[in-house]
Chains A and B, each alone.
Chain A
Amino acid sequence: MTYLFLHIISILLFLGNTSNELTNSPSEPIVIIVNESIEIDQIDINELIDIYTLSKQRWDDNTRIRVADYKGSQDIRDTFYNALHTTPNNIKKIWLRAQFTGRSIPPIVVDSVDEMWKVVLENPGTIGYVPFNQVPVNAKILLQIDG
């Protein structure tokens, strides 16, 4: 029985070694971008916390806020959530609880900066974040966070 448990664990460890890494220098600033339909031009860190903890789910014009985030353990996530005084794991717990209890729809999860920009561009109400040195030319920027 012990052998069977060890055997299963070793297979799963092998399967799990597949996550993507999106690196971001710890000192690299991060920029908050939104879909151009959103009628505000700036946001403060407390509002950003309310949005990413799902306390605030509607923009002022009543459009539903769609939160976009990166998949996996990536440096840019650590930097972003560090600026929000929390961790990716804690935010994920909050999101899952909200999602599984019907209080929120699932977040949009992306693999790369290009995909983040595409999602923000194409979906009204969407908010996301990208590294300062990769901000798309036409992006609507609400806030810059120093790394």
Chain B
Amino acid sequence: MGVQVNQSSEKLLEHLSWLARLKLTEREKEILVKDITRIIDFFNKLSEVNVENIEPTTHIIELVNVLREDIPRKPMETAEALANAPLKEGGFFKAPRIL
């Protein structure tokens, strides 16, 4: 495919993999390092466009601050909320230790 992969692409992938908290196998790294180079090239096509004085569109509908009345509603039962938890204890989700 003739994709220019270099140390900086590999470093970039390491960095992104950490930011995304996504561990990659060696085989996945081999595949993705080529992919990200090609996809970034594809994205670079946008550099041809003149976007001077153009506002970004984040949302198409012009709804702003959609709120409801601050009236409490019936919450989900604890048991229901915990039903899909891989690990739970005493009515809590059990998360891995932070430190």
Q: Do A and B bind each other?
A: no
The residues of B with any CB-CB pair to A shorter than 8 Å are: none
